[in-house]
Chains A and B, each alone.
Chain A
């Protein structure tokens, strides 16, 4: 038994250092999260090895095959106090970097631009505020074939909102982004492993988180909150561009048109018929 436990200890350590499966390379500002994870690995790893090796030694040294008699020591208050104290220190060592990173997580930079992510079974769509920098208000009651985003048609702020309804969104590199999350039906989760930060989408609420993309590239969005039978197909793509490419792309995207009805407005802007069709199918 002792030998097997020893093998498992060192096997686990070897696996940890040799594993081909580990965090994807980080592509956002959240290195503080990775730091907290790494500190946790070192502290817990040390505890894992120490306690288990102590146990292995006890199993070998005090096996009944050696014929010894057990000692009689019901308590040792001093030892127990010491162990409690050092455990508390260890816990504080883990908690500090965790809470430090969380403090950053809940503090959204003033300079952050806004991206709205809308989830529904089983796909993603996105909305940028237009030139006015403000998203139009939305409500589930406005959702229809002509208005898949449910934007309030009488809200002037909504008219210039840029709508992306095909699962792929572009964002500019190096700028903090506040992601507002909204769901039309059930819970979803906007999860891009490389960004580390993420949050659930909750119908009836607007949730949020923020991050700064740091590497140009293409990243997959995977829904990470069970959302029904098509959950595993609810994929999307985030393309991180440099600012110029992003600006050029954003210009080509359709905006929400006022009360007259989204379909005509979209068509008048020359949106391909296929895209309108897609928006319809998704409803």
Chain B
């Protein structure tokens, strides 16, 4: 499945109509059609002597049946035959059934009369040969047929290669996102029909941007290539496949695999990446990967499973892996292991009145210590000193807004792991998705109900 990236060099325009030499050496099967067994026998001798495989038919009807039984890309047919004649046979082959390839038709005529030749060519014959013609001429015309058929095969190969390239990631040689979407969709159709299972792994190389920044993009590309190679090399079965979804994000599809099986594979992949550092021109680079695992098994019925749903759930698991410290596997449906209880919370808001309301609301049940900050660098300093279990950030703040604060936290090794909840007056679905992407564990809408705020925060904490 992993192909050489330089295969793309083949796609030169000039190569399209060039016959590939290997295809010229093929001697196709030839079907001879004539009601006269002596004439058929004579042609068979000539054609077989040239190394062609020969089939014969004594009538046009017999020829059509023979083509259905076993295809022959070259047909030499007599013009005059009782029943359906050669002209009608040409038409029937051109208009009729779908053959696996082009049928090259050579019409045999007894009299070389202009109108016989014309009617044959008009009916779809590619060439004609007189019954008077020498065997040498017949063989030469067969060679023409072979050349045309080799051209047809060359074009088919080019189309196949282009199709494959359009589905392949040029850098890593694994499938691309387009292939991923269409083939996972096909896989889901299959599980609906046969009631089997499929699991999906979404993998993201940890701190890839730092690798690019520190070692350069060439080294980053080497890491991506080596990463794809290790994934591909570590998959247990022929039917498992890898795709690059974009950037440093990859997917692995495991047909007929439940979540327990997928977890084993994901763990194996994680170790394959973590275990040996990657050799690049800029030196060896130690790389780790975070993995999210989901599968059709988490849905109650196969009808509910869509590519988008599956991808979203695996993505959520991937973010859990990132949040919990990276270089780990999170499987959909796992109970989050939150031994840690929520004891200390920092609320950041520039509005002193709201800070006070939040502090009062969250202190209602008496188990939580609530501290506050009005934002900016002071908030980051307070986090470093107080080390809260959870930070709740107002989104709209002068100076440094909530998302900026969160980004700063994620760059700080001490604050990196602290879960964050956003409070916003504009809690649209897109905003929420954007915040989750920033690794927030949840969003609470403003204005909030002071009596239930504590419950909302606790629920998000439990579900993180």
Pairing of A with B: no
Residues of B within 8 A of A (CB): none
Residues of A within 8 A of B (CB): none
